[in-house]
């Protein structure tokens, strides 16, 4: 896998939305938040477009992605937000252009669809990170989250460092063991939605990271079961579980009518007999860790250590 050239102060970043429309009142603060990093900003058309719940038509959103990769004056691309719609533009992307122009590509949540496709079809690392119109502009955007983000996209080195939770946030060993493989994944809903498509996630001998938000426990059970039946969990070398924000029972007044996430993980994942770490501070949460998707990592659940080795 190729590591894109790290961004440096003075570089130019393109802001796009491959998914949902950006609230108008959040655009200016989002731009300013990126500029505070010492980066110049080019605003894609999709940041100011709306087509119902989408940031413009499928054609416009795909065009923004293609143009930002094809433009040699753009050093990196930040997805301004998530939402829904990235999967819809995959057939319209010019993967030959993207492959020929590897550059920092950052975002998470719905952006998972693009991470999977770019990692697998274009062969370069992309970054699971917080985004300008959501986390960047929040008052509680913390130092850990900023440092983790900058370490990836503006780092001078790209290997041999540990992925650590912030102080006071412990990881939990769900299943003991060690594994080495390419880090892949992201949002569980988007990972599952890739199945049966030309952009289906390849988990063979890889470390699969999963997180989600606003899903009930039975839906998480259903998606993990689908991944299991599709062979994706059995093929993985190891599993990392991040934040499960607002994921609980259908009826909070009767949690006994549901299965807890812990029970679901114990029943579906532990029998795989693969190393599994949970409570990684990463996902729809603050603080949050940034991840180099596509890089090779080593996972040791016995000492709860995750090392980027490529």
Cite the active site residues: 109, 211, 284
Q: For residue 245, what are the β-bridge partners?
A: 213
CB-based contacts of 139: which residues, under 8 Å, 6+ apart? Answer: none
Cβ neighbour number for residue 5 with a 10 Å cutoff: 13
Q: At what angle do helices 261-268 and 217-229 cross, to 10 degrees?
A: 10
């Amino acid at each position: 896998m190729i590591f894109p050239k790290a961004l440096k102060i003075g570089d130019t970043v393109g802001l796009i939305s491959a998914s949902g429309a950006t609230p108008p009142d959040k655009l200016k603060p989002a731009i300013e938040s990126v500029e505070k990093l010492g980066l110049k900003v080019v605003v894609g058309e999709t940041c100011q477009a709306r087509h119902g719940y989408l940031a413009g038509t499928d054609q416009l959103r795909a065009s923004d992605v293609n143009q930002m990769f094809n433009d040699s004056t753009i050093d990196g691309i930040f997805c301004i937000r998530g939402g829904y719609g990235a999967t819809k533009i995959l057939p319209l992307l010019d993967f030959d252009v993207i492959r020929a122009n590897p550059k920092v590509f950052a975002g998470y949540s719905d952006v998972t669809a693009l991470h999977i496709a770019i990692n697998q079809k274009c062969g370069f690392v992309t970054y699971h990170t917080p985004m300008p119109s959501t986390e960047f502009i929040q008052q509680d955007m913390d130092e850990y989250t900023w440092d983790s983000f900058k370490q990836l996209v503006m780092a001078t080195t790209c290997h041999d460092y540990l992925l650590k939770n912030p102080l006071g946030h412990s990881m939990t060993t769900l299943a003991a063991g060690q594994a080495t493989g390419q880090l892949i994944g992201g949002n569980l809903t988007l990972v599952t939605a890739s199945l049966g498509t030309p952009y289906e996630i390849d988990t063979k001998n890889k470390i699969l990271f999963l997180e989600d938000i606003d899903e009930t426990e039975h839906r998480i059970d259903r998606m993990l079961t689908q991944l299991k039946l599709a062979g994706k969990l059995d093929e993985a070398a190891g599993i990392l579980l991040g934040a499960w924000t607002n994921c609980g029972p259908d009826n909070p007044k009767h949690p006994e009518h549901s299965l807890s996430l812990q029970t679901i993980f114990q029943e579906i994942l532990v029998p795989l007999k693969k190393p599994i770490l949970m409570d990684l501070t990463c996902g729809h949460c603050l603080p949050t860790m940034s991840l180099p998707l596509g890089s090779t990592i080593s996972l040791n659940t016995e000492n709860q250590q995750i090392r980027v080795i490529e």
